[in-house]
Amino acid sequence: MKSSFHVRVAVLLVAGTAVVGAQGNTEEFARRQFDSGMTFMQSGRYTEALKDFQTILDSFGKSSVADNALLQTALYQLEIARDTGAAQTSVDRLLKDYPDTDSAPMAHIVAGRIALAKGRAPADVDAALASFERVPRLFPNDEAVPAAGFYAADALRIVRRTDEALERFRRVSMEYPRAAWAARARLGAALCLVASDRAPRALDELQRVRQQLPESAEANDALNYNTILYRLYVRPPAQPAYGFAARYPGTEGTKLKDIVGVQFDQSGQMLLGHKLGVSVFDPRGKLARTIAVEEPSSFFVDERGRVITVRKDRLTIERGETTPLTVPQPDGKQRPVEEIPSAVAMASGARLIADHKGKQVIKVSESGAFVGKFVGVDAERLALNRLDDVAMIDKETKSIVVVDREGKPLSKIPQKGAGYEFDNPIDLKFDAFNHIYVLDRGRASIFVFGPRNKLLTTVTIPDKSPGAFPRAEAFALDAAGRIYVFDDRAQTIQVYQ
Amino acid sequence: MLVLASAALSALPALAQVQTPDPTVLMTQARQFFEALDYEHAVSALDQAIVVLEGRPLQDPVHRSLPVAYEMRARSQYGLGKEAEARADFVSLLKVDPVYTLTGQVTPKVVAIFDEVMKATVTTLRLAVTPPTAEVRVDGVIVPATTSMPIAIGEHTIAAKQVGYRAVTQAASVVSGQVAEVAIALERVSSVLAVVTSPAGVQVIIDGVSHGKTEAGPPPPDYAERAARAGVPASELSQLMLIAEMQPGAHVVEFKADCHVSTQRRLTVDKPDDYTFDPIKLEPAIATVNIKTAQTGAAVYVDGKQRGLAPMTLPDVCEGEHVVEVRSGSGRYFRRMAVHTGDKVEMDAKLKPAFALVSASGQATGLNTDLRATIERAFEGLQSVTLFAPPADQLDQVLKAQQLTPAWLAFDASKRALAQSADLGAATRRDLTGRIAKAFDAQGVASVTVPSALDRSRIVVSLLAAGSGDPDIVEVTIDHPETFAAAVAQVDRAPSFFRPSLGVSAIDVRDVAGAVVIGVDANGPAAKAGVAPGDVIVKANAQPIADAVALNALLASRKGDEALTLELKDRTGAPKRADVTVAMAPRLVGLYDQTLLVNRMLLDLRNRLQTPGSPNEDSVLRLNLGAALARIENWSEARTELQRVKLPDGPGVSNGTVQYLLGLCADKLGSRADADAAFTAAAASDALISEDGPSVKDLVEARRSGRLR
């Protein structure tokens, strides 16, 4: 009894101390939970990160990191889960419950990005711009102001209001010259200058990025961009834009055959599609892995960075999950898409599939469900740029058709134009500036077209000279605009720079 | 004349009804009548004069005429045959002045009457009062403590007093023909301390209680000897200060005076007595401050009072804390300092543009003192500008005159105006910053704000040039000292207005080693040395140049006119060489850069332009000044400065840049035609708005298309 009494007193004392301690450390605990969430987020363990953020919102809603937790949740929903509805709910809650916190300016920016992710109709763009413009008005000296300026400019660029975008990008770089956003704004300004046929002016703009933030990712982009512009606008006409440099080290010594495609992913790895699958080479040219697939007809890298192979009527995700593709017929039956010469993934996750049998390009969801006919072109190859514009080789007309993300025609490069005539175009690519590169097997050339589809340069290596590609099958561009051509006669990949 | 005088005299009663006649005038008239032997009118005038004189106090100098009036009336009465009245007047005379002697020519008979009256009216008073230093008065007139003096017979009052003694007042009845003997011994009731100081004005504190200050001398004569003994000139001594009621026991007596070394004495009162110190001499407590400055003629102030013009030596700065300032129209040297006796302080006064801290709002964590003083101390390490807090009373006065509260210039870290500041509006604020800066002889004003009650450790310091409505913001956190250091560094960060240049644009290209030249200024050093677009710079002064970033890094450390040998490859890959001279290209900073402290820069530029430099240097500084003025929307002054800028045409920051800015000013000032002309000139140039672009051509185009305002 006595001992029992002592135990109870001790328990009460400990409990009392714990209550006082918890009250005193609520803020500290919330901060630790937030740090934990951020660590999970940075290592890609999103579920655990979201648990931490949700705990803060449920239990420490009045702590100083509650708004940050909500912001991180919204960013996850927008950027990773691509769930604009959930992201909108989080941002609305943040702006309602924490309107004057340090997360509020960024929440307005996220709100703008959500509006833009929902669509690019004038109303969506206006809503996005309004959100971005609230930041300097409500928080005039906040460090989010240049970010808001950048996103507003980029929204205008995306919807092709290029001159307005250029002014906004310039405002960011002039008003906040030392911010990281200034570097991004200069990259954006360079894209606008090239898009509006003022490429030489972009050179200085890009060099300033390298000057200001030499070690940054933006400086690396600027170097790549300037390299592209230098080749296309400075070298010619006094010098050829491209010259044969070397054979691709990763494939040297091997005789390549039956290549179905070459491309680079975002991290600079080269992917080579062949009859046994897709081989992935790291940026130094070393074979990193091979994704085994029997006789794929094509492959692409999706919005999540996964390699998707195409075989007959189905798409196969890297680790084996396959999705059959069918097209509904007027009689209600489903027709398998049997021949797929090319496919690409849009930023939204939708896939565009060249349906050779149907002489069309169809749009399917990430899960493979038919969404609709995208465009009525019998496309040999598809290429996608960062705006989700799609360029395709029209097999019938031997021309290049460019449409926007909704399938609306933007432009066309006819079979014959000033300084060129396509004979057998077999592959095409966009570079970072949306120049279109067309590989013509018949001409053993690559034609490069500028923003108004004007021929900028032709890459041709005289036959029997080193680097000639008389029987080219496919090609890729890396971030710096180097060209990697697979030629069936050389049976290797040759590099031009 | 006599008739006239009589007529004048007859008018006197009427005059007397309205005011008391002047006894001097009456006496003059009476003497005229008396000397003209007109005794009737003389008596009449003297009657009135005596009435007036008797009514005057003893201390009044006019009262001294009363015995003369009595004498004159007595002799006039005698002249009229009225001897009894004459005798009565002599009695009255001798009661007023027992030692009086008749004046002028007097008949023997009158003398005999006077002597007879004197014998019957005056006798001798023998007075003996102890202590001999007592103040003694007979009928209110001070007399020596021990004396033998004539006195009129009758009743008299004798009073004696002395500090430390009980005062005595007693009546004395003086009888004709007898010597009156009066002896008074004052009874001591307390001890008395007598103090004389050099200088006067010394505060005397006994056992911690102040007994007032000594007054200007002289002291009693016997202090001369003591003063000599103490080595003090008698002329510097104070009056004697007596402190009564000294209680028995040991006492500490302190002597304090501004600007002097304090001293103290010990005193033991063991019995009721008079206690005296030798004259207390306080030595001056002063330091010498020698002020040198490059700005000769700037005004020197100590504690707000002007002391002369720099350079100067202040030989008499009192020991203690002081504010020494050296002020000119463009800047101020400000130093709070404590000096000690004998210090010789050397001051090299570097005048810097000054912000007066004229607004404070909110309560910071852990700070009960004036926020302005805290910020002044925290920012005293500033090299480029001065931040000072004017005295609170002066600030109150200035703000009251403008009907402003102390929060009139409050901003948060987002530059949002708070409290009264939010009600003012930018235009009013611009006007007020100009006026209040002028009131404090400052080039700008500053405020300190604790914007949030939730986080009272965060302090926002706002800086505004005179005439600016848009502040520079610097934020500090009370419990993070590193934020203060960062804030000081931020304010001191000075942009440079020139950069080394070769007159080439170069870029980095992957797979190309070196800096790839894409543009060459036709008038620049590189063009003169034969560098052409398409060339690749691979070495400079034999150092490999990996890329354009490396070339710029190398250039950044070079000075104007420095020679560089470039090794290049031309478009074909052939090697070439170019000897170039580094030029200093102008820069325009701050026109758009929101992260730059434009108010601080504006003060700096105004200050730098006080000292003329080369025409080119002045032009570039003035261009930047114009841009800074444009930033604070002072368009008129901006235009004036820009109109004085002379830069050549060409690429980079050049005449086209100036034209663009002039266009902006003209547009804002409503001169559409001038704006169009300036924009047209700008658009025709290859100029950039800053070294980092964009081109003014693009800006004009954007403006004309309505995309840019």
Tokens of A372: 């609709």
Q: Distance from A176 to chain B by nearest Cα, in Å?
A: 6
pLDDT tens-digit readout, B234-269:
888 999 999 988 999 999 999 999 899 999 999 999
pLDDT at position A11? 35
Q: Going by C-beta distance under 8 Å and a sequence separation of 6 or more, which residues neighbour residue B25?
A: none
pLDDT at position B1? 37
H/E stretch holding B424 reads helix B419-424
Tokens of B360: 């404070």
pLDDT at B2 exceeding the cut of 70: no
Q: Going by C-beta distance under 8 Å and a sequence separation of 6 or more, which residues neighbour residue B35?
A: none
- Please answer yes or no on whether B507 and A230 come within 8 Å at the CB atom: yes
Checking phi first, is residue A182 left (phi over 0); if not, alpha (psi -120 to 50) or beta?
alpha
In percent, how much of chain B has pLDDT > 90?
72
Q: Which of B509, B595, B693 sits opposite A204 (nearest CB)?
A: B693
Contact residues on chain B for A210, CB-CB shorter than 8 A: 508, 547-549
Under DSSP, is residue B266 helix (H, G, I), strand (E, B) or coil? strand
pLDDT band at B709 (very low <50, low <70, confident <90, very high): low
The answer to whether the CB of B461 falls within 8 A of the CB of B375 is yes
Which site among B461, B664, B692 would you substitute to test the A interface, given the most A Cβ atoms closer than 10 Å to its Cβ? Answer: B692
Q: Which of A142, A205, A214 sits opposite B414 (nearest CB)?
A: A142
Of the candidates A278, A264, A326, A307, the residue with the CA atom closest to the CA atom of residue A495: A264
pLDDT at A471 exceeding the cut of 90: yes
Lowest mean pLDDT among A377-391, B360-374, B465-479: B360-374
Cβ atoms within 10 A of the Cβ of A47, count? 7
Q: What is the mean pLDDT of chain A?
A: 91
pLDDT band at A7 (very low <50, low <70, confident <90, very high): very low
Read out DSSP for B436-456? HHHHTT-SEEEEEE---SS-T
Under DSSP, is residue B195 helix (H, G, I), strand (E, B) or coil? strand
Measured over the CA atoms of residue B100, residue B103, residue B109 and residue B111, the dihedral's sign is: positive
Cα separation, B45 vs A26, in Å, equals 105
Global confidence as pTM:
0.74
Cα separation, B554 vs B506, in Å, equals 13
- Please answer yes or no on whether A210 and B571 come within 8 Å at the CB atom: no
- Please answer yes or no on whether B518 and A211 come within 8 Å at the CB atom: no
pLDDT at B15 exceeding the cut of 70: no
pLDDT at A219 exceeding the cut of 50: yes
**How many residues are recorded in chain B?**
709
Contact residues on chain A for B507, CB-CB shorter than 8 A: 203-204, 206-207, 226, 230
Cβ atoms within 10 A of the Cβ of A146, count? 26
Q: Going by C-beta distance under 8 Å and a sequence separation of 6 or more, which residues neighbour residue B369?
A: none
pLDDT tens-digit readout, B221-230:
888 888 888 7
pLDDT at position B366? 63
Read out DSSP for B508-565? --TT--SEEEEEE-TTSHHHHTT--TT-EEEEETTEE--SHHHHHHHHHT--TT-EEE
pLDDT at A388 exceeding the cut of 70: yes
Q: Which amino acid is at B105?
A: Q
**To the nearest 10°, the Cα dihedral for B95, B99, B105, B107?**
60
Which site among A234, A477, A484 would you substitute to test the B interface, given the most B Cβ atoms closer than 10 Å to its Cβ? Answer: A234
Which site among A98, A174, A206, A483 would you substitute to test the B interface, given the most B Cβ atoms closer than 10 Å to its Cβ? Answer: A174
Under DSSP, is residue A198 helix (H, G, I), strand (E, B) or coil? coil
pLDDT tens-digit readout, B472-513:
999 999 889 899 999 999 999 988 999 999 999 999 999 999
Cα separation, A184 vs A187, in Å, equals 5
Cβ atoms within 10 A of the Cβ of B239, count? 17
Cα separation, B126 vs B434, in Å, equals 80
- Please answer yes or no on whether A207 and B507 come within 8 Å at the CB atom: yes
pLDDT tens-digit readout, B607-659:
999 888 999 999 999 999 999 999 999 999 999 999 999 999 988 999 999 99
Of the candidates A223, A210, A158, the residue with the CA atom closest to the CA atom of residue A182: A210
pLDDT tens-digit readout, A283-333:
888 899 999 998 999 999 998 889 999 988 899 998 778 889 999 999 999
Complex ipTM, two decimals?
0.88
Q: Distance from B518 to chain A by nearest Cα, in Å?
A: 7
Q: What is the mean pLDDT of residues A396-416?
A: 96
Cα separation, B548 vs B526, in Å, equals 15
pLDDT at position B5? 41
Q: What is the mean pLDDT of chain B?
A: 91
The answer to whether the CB of A183 falls within 8 A of the CB of A163 is no
pLDDT tens-digit readout, A159-211:
999 999 999 999 999 999 888 999 999 999 999 999 999 999 999 999 999 99
Tokens of B396: 């109150």
pLDDT tens-digit readout, A116-150:
999 999 999 999 999 999 999 999 888 899 999 99
Contact residues on chain A for B518, CB-CB shorter than 8 A: 200, 203-204, 230, 234
Which site among A108, A164, A170, A192 would you substitute to test the B interface, given the most B Cβ atoms closer than 10 Å to its Cβ? Answer: A170
Cα separation, A214 vs A220, in Å, equals 8
pLDDT tens-digit readout, B75-113:
999 999 999 999 999 999 998 888 898 988 889 999 999
Query: Nearest residue of A to residue B533 by CA position?
Result: A234
Cα–Cα distances in Å, from A285 out to A271, A275, B31?
Answer: 10, 20, 138
pLDDT band at B365 (very low <50, low <70, confident <90, very high): low
Q: Which of B416, B552, B594 sits opposite A211 (nearest CB)?
A: B552
Beta bridge partners of B187: B166
Cα–Cα distances in Å, from A345 out to A305, A364, B475, B649?
Answer: 10, 10, 47, 52
Contact residues on chain A for B547, CB-CB shorter than 8 A: 210
Q: Distance from A143 to chain B by nearest Cα, in Å?
A: 9
- Please answer yes or no on whether B571 and A238 come within 8 Å at the CB atom: yes
- A328 upstream amide cis, omega within 30 of 0: no
pLDDT tens-digit readout, B574-601:
999 999 999 999 999 988 888 899 999 9
Under DSSP, is residue B595 helix (H, G, I), strand (E, B) or coil? coil
pLDDT at position A255? 84
**To the nearest 10°, the Cα dihedral for A68, A74, A80, A81?**
140
Lowest mean pLDDT among A69-78, A471-480, B360-369: B360-369
